[in-house]
A and B are shown apart, each in its own frame.
Chain A
Amino acid sequence: MPHISLPESQPGIRGAMSFRPETARPLNDLVEVLLRAPNSLSPGERELIATYVSYLNDCHYCQSIHGAIAAAHLDGDEELVRGVKADFQYAGISEKLKTLLIIASKVQRGGKHVTTEDVTNARNLGATDVEIHDTVLIAAAFCMYNRYVDGLATVQPRDEAMYRERGKMVARDGYVNVSKTYLPAEPTKP
């Protein structure tokens, strides 16, 4: 049972976000920019970074839903998502993404673990400054989302089919769109 009274019908972060729509808006806006907005890293690659960090933080809900969203972006390749979590060095992803996953995993432990060499390795394989920035921030942000979801003891169903269906929907419609039911109305533009 969650530590506070969250809406029962909403699992994971959705329960927490509908409990507090004011903070849900920037939380949704941030994940939308980081994982979905146009970027030289594909949505699938960015979702893999989010999934990997959530896996390292042992957050069941986040690694399952972002793993499902990643798979939906990657032609349903759930095997690739599993491969990245198990040992990304042997997974069928680009060498550049491997160097970014190393940076992400260091950030997961603590930002100060990232070395100049880690960054140089990513650059040598073609990573841009924005890609390095976004990798650091995706990893940092999931250290927040994971703690938020686990720290409130949200409901985290063990139901792969649920995550798979929701993953397809989020990959198609985006984070802000699927959360509209509980987000506060858009501020009116002047």
Chain B
Amino acid sequence: MAHIPLPEDLPGISGAFVFRPETAKPMRELAHILLHEPNSLTPGERELIATYVSSQNDCYFCQTSHGAAAASHLGGDEVVRLVKTDYESSPVSPKLKALLAIAGKVQRDGKLVTAEDVERARREGASDVEIHDTVLIAAAFCMYNRYVDGLDTWQPRETGMYAQMGQHLAKQGYLKSSR
């Protein structure tokens, strides 16, 4: 049971969003801009960064729902699984690998990101906005993950539900609830 009375039928962050709509609004807008709006990084790439960080933070709901959104964008979940296990040997672009290295550092502590990490991303063609957005996606998921786990939200183990949620997120984005 969650630490505070959240709506019972809404899993993960959805219940917390309904409990406190005032904070849900900017949190939804932030996710929508970072993951869904037009960007030189594809939505699939950005969802992979979100999924990877959520997996490093061991947040079941976030890594499963964003993993499903990534899979929906990318047409399959194999690459999602490989990125979580070992992104350096996964079939993503060298640029995305460099950005995932930055995201992995931000997940632990922003100060761990080095000039060399940023240089590597630039060498692989990353722009300033892409580097900025990678840092902010990683930082933001350190918030979403802690929010979801810190309230002890309901995180069902039903892969079907997440696949459906992932398709909805991939199509509609984050501004409105899927229900």
Given A22-B33, A30-B30, A114-B3; A143-B115 close (CB under 8 Å): no
> By the criterion CB–CB under 8 Å, are A144 and B23 in contact?
no
Looking at B64-72, B73-81, B134-142, B156-164, the stretch in contact with chain A turns out to be B134-142
| B-side interface mostly | helix
List of B residues within 8 angstroms of A59 by Cβ: 110
> By the criterion CB–CB under 8 Å, are B146 and A136 in contact?
yes
Looking at A77-85, A91-99, A127-135, the stretch in contact with chain B turns out to be A127-135
Separation of A146 and B144 alpha carbons in the complex (Å): 14
Q: Does B106 contact A (CB under 8 A)?
A: yes
Q: Does A147 contact B (CB under 8 A)?
A: yes
Q: How far is the CB of A73 from chain B (nearest CB, A)?
A: 20
Looking at A44-52, A104-112, A166-174, the stretch in contact with chain B turns out to be A104-112
Size band of the B side of the interface?
35 or more
Separation of A49 and B133 alpha carbons in the complex (Å): 27
Specify the chain B residue showing the minimal Cβ separation from A29. B26
Separation of A153 and B113 alpha carbons in the complex (Å): 8
Q: How far is the CB of A18 from chain B (nearest CB, A)?
A: 12
Separation of A141 and B118 alpha carbons in the complex (Å): 24
List of A residues within 8 angstroms of B105 by Cβ: 151
Specify the chain B residue showing the minimal Cβ separation from A154. B110
List of B residues within 8 angstroms of A152 by Cβ: 110, 113, 132, 135
> By the criterion CB–CB under 8 Å, are B26 and A132 in contact?
no
Interface size on A, residues (CB 8 A): 50
* Contact digits for A119-140, partner B, Cβ 8 Å, 1 yes 0 no: 1000000000110111011011
Separation of A141 and B102 alpha carbons in the complex (Å): 20
> By the criterion CB–CB under 8 Å, are A147 and B29 in contact?
no
List of A residues within 8 angstroms of B106 by Cβ: 147, 151
> By the criterion CB–CB under 8 Å, are B3 and A147 in contact?
no
List of B residues within 8 angstroms of A162 by Cβ: none
> By the criterion CB–CB under 8 Å, are A133 and B20 in contact?
yes
Q: Does A33 contact B (CB under 8 A)?
A: yes
Specify the chain B residue showing the minimal Cβ separation from A144. B143
> By the criterion CB–CB under 8 Å, are A144 and B3 in contact?
no
> By the criterion CB–CB under 8 Å, are B142 and A136 in contact?
no
Separation of A151 and B142 alpha carbons in the complex (Å): 13
> By the criterion CB–CB under 8 Å, are A151 and B16 in contact?
no
List of A residues within 8 angstroms of B57 by Cβ: 110
Q: How far is the CB of A120 from chain B (nearest CB, A)?
A: 9
Q: List 15 A-B residue pairs with CB atoms under 8 Å apart, sorted by A's residue number.
A: A22-B33, A27-B30, A29-B26, A30-B30, A107-B150, A110-B57, A112-B58, A114-B149, A133-B16, A137-B23, A137-B147, A144-B142, A145-B139, A147-B135, A150-B113
